[in-house]
Chain A
Amino acid sequence: MDWHTHRASEREFDCFAAEVSDPLLRTAHLMTGDARDAEDLVQETLLRIARRWNRVRFMDHQAAYARRVLVNLVLHDANRRSRLRAELRPQDGAADAADESAARALREVDDLAEFRWALAQLPAQQRAVLVLRYWADLPVAEVADILGCSEGTVTSTASRAAARLAETLAHSSMPTT
């Protein structure tokens, strides 16, 4: 690669980083509940992509790849990968009543810091399902692919996570600073 091509490649990466850093930061913050952890994770994500930029730059969905790298980092840091598939189990039984109760609790949220704190109390993989499915707005199939589980497990985990989130908000003991 000559100098001009190298500089063009660097500028491409700079543009890519500028484009994805904000959504990655917000995703990381929602998934960790901590601003500094979020920055660390996004920096590590961008470092890994920079190292592989000469392959990533030819991908059709670079932002989606970046998000996948970030999610893997979050879950790896949570050190639960070996138990991830055991915890992401399909849930049987009627869940509609619980869903209605959780929906009501979420509609009544008026303290967003408290909501983010409650979100951070969930297990990492439940947080991942909620953030990827309802903030990144990814289809169930794509969330399942990222997390390495079935689509049924994604939907049941979403219900379970929402119920747990609502219960945490209802009995909130968020630390005050």
Chain B
Amino acid sequence: MPTEELENALRNALAQAAADIQHPEQARQRLLQHNYRPGSRHRRLGAGITAATAASAVVLGLSLTGVLGSAPARSTGTIRTVAFTLVKHANGTATLTINLNVLLDPSTLQSDLQQDGIPALVTTGSFCSSEPVPAGIQQVLAGPKAPPGAARTFTINPAAIPAGTELSFGNFQLSPGAETAIGLIDTNFYTCTSTAPTTAPPPGADAMVAWHPGSPQTAAAKAAARRSLLERGKIVTRR
């Protein structure tokens, strides 16, 4: 453990170094004047990050001349962390394995999925869903079902994700172990609940939660699911 003397020396040196930084006000104004509305273009301000991604992109044979915006997508490859592994295949699909014994950082998984062209909303301790439920989950997602506590492996086909929708991943720590709920949601309208689904839903019930590709959902089942969510826990609505 660092000595108190060392810790004080570090605090003083870092405080002085931070206070000495010359650019904050101009940079701050640029940041505050940026348009952060969803859908607005993200203009890269500097070369540092773009240069770092350029180095890897050149290896993959991609051209980055004049690129502005988010980091270029991977063509293939594996991202491996303690909590999950994401493999992008040459045919455009991706295989995601989630280790349910490790606490998942939702922003990291979400960022990596988006980098692979998979629009996603990843949450921990809550699950977001839309009413009506967008159709097509069976074309987007395939995966074996395993007992709670095991790893979950899914195959994702980003090309099948309908326009205006994204995948919703909700990670819960349940008493027998962790579990992940997955569904398709309308990007502009969804509700989130902090109450974890306790069991995998029977066909037609709790239609907004799909542990794996679910069965067709009737209007009555959707309405029942909506009532169930409203009764069970806090719902945050975004319009």
CA distance A18 to B12 in the complex (A): 26
At the interface, yes or no: B58 with Cβ under 8 Å from chain A? no
At the interface, yes or no: A41 with Cβ under 8 Å from chain B? yes
Task: Report the interface size for chain B: residues with CB under 8 A from the other chain.
Answer: 54
**CB within 8 Å of A: which of B78-121?**
79-82, 103, 105, 107-108, 111
Structural contact, A51 and B3, CB atoms closer than 8 A: no
Shortest beta-carbon distance, B23 to chain A, in Å?
A: 5
C-beta contact mask, B118-134 vs A, less than 8 Å → 1, else 0?
Answer: 00000000000000000
C-beta contact mask, A4-46 vs B, less than 8 Å → 1, else 0?
Answer: 0000000001100110011001100110101111111111101
In the complex, which residues of chain B have a beta carbon less than 8 angstroms from the beta carbon of A72?
105, 107-108, 111
Shortest beta-carbon distance, B6 to chain A, in Å?
A: 4
Shortest beta-carbon distance, A147 to chain B, in Å?
A: 10
Shortest beta-carbon distance, B52 to chain A, in Å?
A: 6
Residues of A participating in the B interface, judged by any CB pair closer than 8 Å: 1, 13-14, 17-18, 21-22, 25-26, 29-30, 32, 34-44, 46-48, 50-51, 54-55, 58, 68-69, 72-73, 76-77, 79, 81-82, 85, 95-96, 99-100, 102-104, 106-107, 109, 112-113, 115-116, 119, 130-131, 133-135, 137, 148, 155-156, 158-159, 162
Question: What are 17 A-B pairs with beta-carbon distances under 8 A?
Answer: A25-B23, A35-B27, A39-B31, A40-B44, A43-B45, A46-B31, A48-B107, A51-B38, A68-B107, A72-B105, A73-B111, A99-B2, A106-B12, A106-B13, A109-B16, A131-B14, A162-B2
